[in-house]
Chains A and B, each alone.
Chain A
Amino acid sequence: MNAQLQIVGADLPRKDAMEKVCGRAEYAVDVALPGMLHAKVLRSSRAHALIKRLDVSRARQAPGVRAVLTAGDIPKHFMPVYGYFIKDQPIVAVDRVRYIGDIVCAIAADSEAEAAAALALVEVDYQDLPLAATIEAALNEAAEDLFPVAPFAVMPSYGQGASGQMRPQKNVCYEFDYRSGDATAFDRCDHVYEDSFRFSRMHHYHLEPFAAIADARTDRIEVWASNQNPFPLRKELARIFKVSESSITVHVGHVGAGFGSKNNCKAEPVAVMLSMLARRPVRFCLTMEESALTNTQHAAILRLKTGVMKDGTLVARESEIWLDAGAYSDASPLVAEKAGYRIPGPYRWQYIDTRCLCVMTNTAPAGPFRGFGGTQATWASESQLDMIARRLGVDPYDIRVMNMLGLGEAFQPGESGIDSDLKQGLDLVCEHIGYRQPRRPNRGKGLSIGFKDGGGVKKAAQARVRVLTNGDAILNFASVEMGQGIRTAMTQVVGEILKLPHNRVSAPSINTDHVPFDEGTNASSGVAVMGRAVEAAARGARQRVLEFAAGQLHCEVGELDLDNGTIVQGTGPNAQRSPLGPLVMGFYGGPGFEFSADGFYMAPVDHRAPLESPCVFWEIGWGAAEVEVDPGTGLVKVLKLVASGDTGRSINPLICKGQEDGAAIQGFGQAMFERMIYSDRGELLNIDPLIYRVPLAEDLPAEFVTITQQQGHGPGPFGAKGAGEGTILPIASAIANAIEDAVGVRITELPITPERVLAALERKAASAPGDAHQDEH
């Protein structure tokens, strides 16, 4: 690797450090505009019902009320529904509600308290419809259709082997299919195993709720949003409110975390519409409970049919995945695509046939969540791999190593090659967990390799670097800083290329009128996609400075270097050093000048690639766990958890470690206890923050180790890859695999509660030996 790096690879303090530790960092929730009103919404108390009567007349007269928004208050020429591919979510309910928490109407008042008081005066008559709160209920032939009329939808396009279908059956908004290889491969297998898995659903629990402040008093719309993708938001608002994108400004400051949830429209449409009606700026800030009702992870049922040779060689896999999409599609088609596509894992196959369906249920809409379908896929595929290994009497380590893709080997036909040495990572976590050591009673160790394609599909990014008169630099780019440290990482890249100390590079917050277009901050794309645009912009700006200096110094560009704001001609002790400032002002005059360059990157489009764009980089998360199971209670104690990702190269190692820690602990919470609990009636039973349980410091495993590998094969600046999602992927399966190693029972449903473990132990005790290998064909 490049040994001369000065700034990239250093644990420099985060760019946002001072403002965050001093309480000065501004989030959307902190924005206050003169004359600003406050919005509250009435949420449906019914899981599925027609609205027979909605009377807001008393609310309109209530103290402090400035605007009331019902479906009838939206001008007819607007397009009051939104969604990524399927425009199915109304700003406020039109004729029906589809889940408990669906927005019925909204009120803007002088204070939140007055808005809330006015909502109590709204009268609604519902006529209940049959409801479907689970995947099974929604797929039942007798189930009520959540969308009797098909919403407008746009089909994603695919390349070799992949296809999609809108509404293939009732209550399925989208189906993704991928097939490759030789279908007869199953016939040649020694064994074919079928296993099913269940994946629970988490609330993102971003501490800053969804919030938007909108000012739409004039023919312009200005929005301050807690949002991960300001430009797609601008486009969606333009479509809804029938204005030019050039008439919309989106501001994004610091975002109090998103984990995927803060994509596309959330609080914004209500705030904008109320601002139009009230002709005042409007703030709409949700509570944490409301956030949980706005976007969640996808619960899933996964069925895998896997054919193998008796030595453990993987041959063929068929999978069916049902994702619980909730009541509105949000990003579900994309999550389905990824869950389906990632089901092979990082292994070699002769045949793959995978199908993933998004099932509409009368529950909160599900959307992107860190891992994005890969978490669901990894839970099932890495669990089944261990089950198969044990059935065949092959070591779980060996079955992985004998089937894993080699460095540079294509994941599937038309795809890019794997850019991590998978065995190197597996050996590392094995060593840390002591995989080869003998087991003590009721203790076991498990392994897992999480896997996802990173960087997004056909994702384009742009950045602008401006070098000022004295050599200081400004980076304008639209990656949202939501904790991952992208502003720090990208200014380190600029600093490295311009040989400029990090504190001389600034990265202002986002205003869509002034930063170059970017598709959004998701898919771990910051470093691998935006990073390349930033790198190109910095190199371009440096070139412009050197070209200018060469003209002034009457020499060739190649003779010059830019170092800390100084033009250096020649090398060694005889080098001539000319500060940039006097050179610039000597030519341009006292006001000085800026040398600006734009950078662009987009993954190449290639129809041979199944998703039409070979994966930018592969995000891998290796996991290993050691557990102790109490056979009397089913209680599982995770004695040690090891998680490792490969950043290719860490631009800021300390920040990378924080990402790996955080993702692993999110996965740990999901494995052990965290989940949203829905009743059959569509009620979210643990919505209150008092009872919804996320990991606390005291929940950490006794030993918790994360190791950042820097294997150097990444496509980003200086060999970097994306990071931040890898280590959430393998945790649950590593723990389940460790439990089977410890006590010989297999848990196939998350979270791994003592009740489930105890029940499995009792089943094992009740069954004769040999019955454990079910479903063999």
Chain B
Amino acid sequence: MSDIAISFELNGEKRRAAVAPNLLLVDYLRDHEQLKGAKIGCSRGVCGSCTVLVDGTPVAACSKFAFQIDQASVITVEGLANGDRLDPVQQAFVDHAAFQCGYCTSGMILLTKALLSQHANPDRATIIEWLSSNVCRCTGYSQIIAAVEDAAQRQRQVVP
């Protein structure tokens, strides 16, 4: 198997890489880029712990090959904060204690980023519909929903 040359953007930085055709995106991020915020939970694209944004769309990185990000822009949870200044979504998750064990948190935060990029003012039903694509086994979701509602409000205040 010869490697595939790809070029893409990772958290705002241009990147080139040669990846094996069977290398999963999540393994590429975790093992080759040392970006371990994307977590492997179910390996079936169900739980969403490995969610990253590819061209703004949330995808399960366990169910995508690394070569599929050629020419794309990838955002991982590590790309959200600006130094110690958290993204409003991250800050909302902190303020609402919207995580417990933290294993699903990267995915939930990125899912929320994508949701808020499409719906600046999502109603509760829309939030629940979006969040239902990822699993959190700890929180019972209420505090995550509260964080998303709060993040939406903060984001509207930031973006005129």
Contacts and interface: CB of A to CB of B under 8 A. Distances in A.
Interface of A: 11, 13-14, 16-27, 29-30, 32, 204-209, 254-257, 259, 287-288, 482-485, 654-655, 657-659, 661-666, 688-690, 694-698, 700, 704, 706
A613 B30 CA distance: 47
18 contacts: A13-B94, A14-B97, A23-B37, A25-B102, A30-B36, A288-B41, A483-B102, A483-B138, A662-B137, A666-B140, A690-B44, A695-B141, A696-B141, A697-B128, A697-B132, A698-B132, A700-B141, A706-B140
B153 interface: no
A220 to B, nearest CB: 26
A287 B128 CA distance: 28
Which of A19, A21, A287, A690 has most chain B Cβ within 10 Å? A21
A126 B97 CA distance: 51
Interface in B36-52: 36-44, 46-47, 49
Contacts of A694: 135, 137
A208 B39 contact: yes
B129 interface: yes
B99 A20 contact: yes
B109 interface: yes
B128 A17 contact: no
B144 A29 contact: no
A659 B135 CA distance: 16
A656 to B, nearest CB: 10
Given A17-B94, A207-B47, A207-B101, A22 B77 contact: yes
A482 B99 CA distance: 11
A661 B98 CA distance: 11
A225 to B, nearest CB: 15
A661 B143 contact: yes
A27 B104 CA distance: 12
Interface string B118-138: 000000000111011001011
B73 interface: no
Given A657-B143, A661-B142, A694-B135, A483 B47 contact: no
Q: Nearest 4 A-B pairs (CB), nearest first?
A: A23-B37, A483-B100, A483-B101, A665-B140
B55 interface: no
A432 to B, nearest CB: 15
B138 A23 contact: no
B39 A207 contact: yes
A605 to B, nearest CB: 33
B105 A21 contact: yes
Contact of A208 (B31, B93, B96, B101): B101
Contacts of A23: 35-38, 76-78, 105-106
Nearest to A657: B143
B18 interface: no
Interface of B: 30-31, 35-44, 46-47, 49, 76-78, 80-81, 84, 86, 90, 93-97, 99-106, 109, 127-129, 131-132, 135, 137-145
A13 B78 contact: no
Contacts of B40: 29, 209
A27 B41 CA distance: 12
Nearest to A288: B42
A661 B101 contact: no
A20 B94 CA distance: 9
B137 A658 contact: no
B110 to A, nearest CB: 10
A34 to B, nearest CB: 14
B55 to A, nearest CB: 20
Given A662-B100, A665-B140, 18 more contacts: A20-B99, A21-B99, A22-B37, A23-B106, A25-B102, A27-B39, A29-B40, A256-B101, A257-B137, A288-B47, A482-B101, A485-B100, A661-B140, A665-B141, A696-B132, A696-B141, A697-B127, A697-B145
A654 B140 contact: no
A16 B143 CA distance: 16
A654 B90 contact: no
Contacts of A661: 139-143
Contacts of B103: 27, 206-208, 256-257
Contacts of B90: 21-22
A205 B103 CA distance: 12
A257 B99 CA distance: 11
A613 B72 CA distance: 62
Contacts of A19: 102
A256 B99 CA distance: 11
A658 B143 contact: yes
Contact of B104 (A18, A207, A654): A207
Given A483-B102, A665-B141, A690-B46, A21 B109 contact: yes
A288 B135 CA distance: 13
B141 A257 contact: no
A654 B96 contact: yes
Nearest to B94: A17
Contacts of B143: 654, 657-658, 661
A20 B105 contact: yes
Contacts of B97: 11, 13-14, 485, 654-655, 657-658
B135 A207 contact: yes
Contacts of A482: 101
Contacts of B145: 697
A14 B101 CA distance: 11
A254 B102 contact: yes
Nearest to B79: A23
Nearest to B47: A207
A661 B143 CA distance: 9
A20 B90 CA distance: 9
B132 A257 contact: no
B137 A22 contact: no
Which of B90, B93, B103, B141 has most chain A Cβ within 10 Å? B103
Contacts of B47: 207, 288, 689
Contact of A21 (B30, B49, B93, B142): B93
Nearest to B145: A697
A690 B35 CA distance: 26
B129 A698 contact: yes
A281 to B, nearest CB: 15
A29 B30 CA distance: 10
A697 B38 contact: no
Nearest to A700: B141
A24 B34 CA distance: 10
A27 B37 CA distance: 10
Nearest to A688: B44
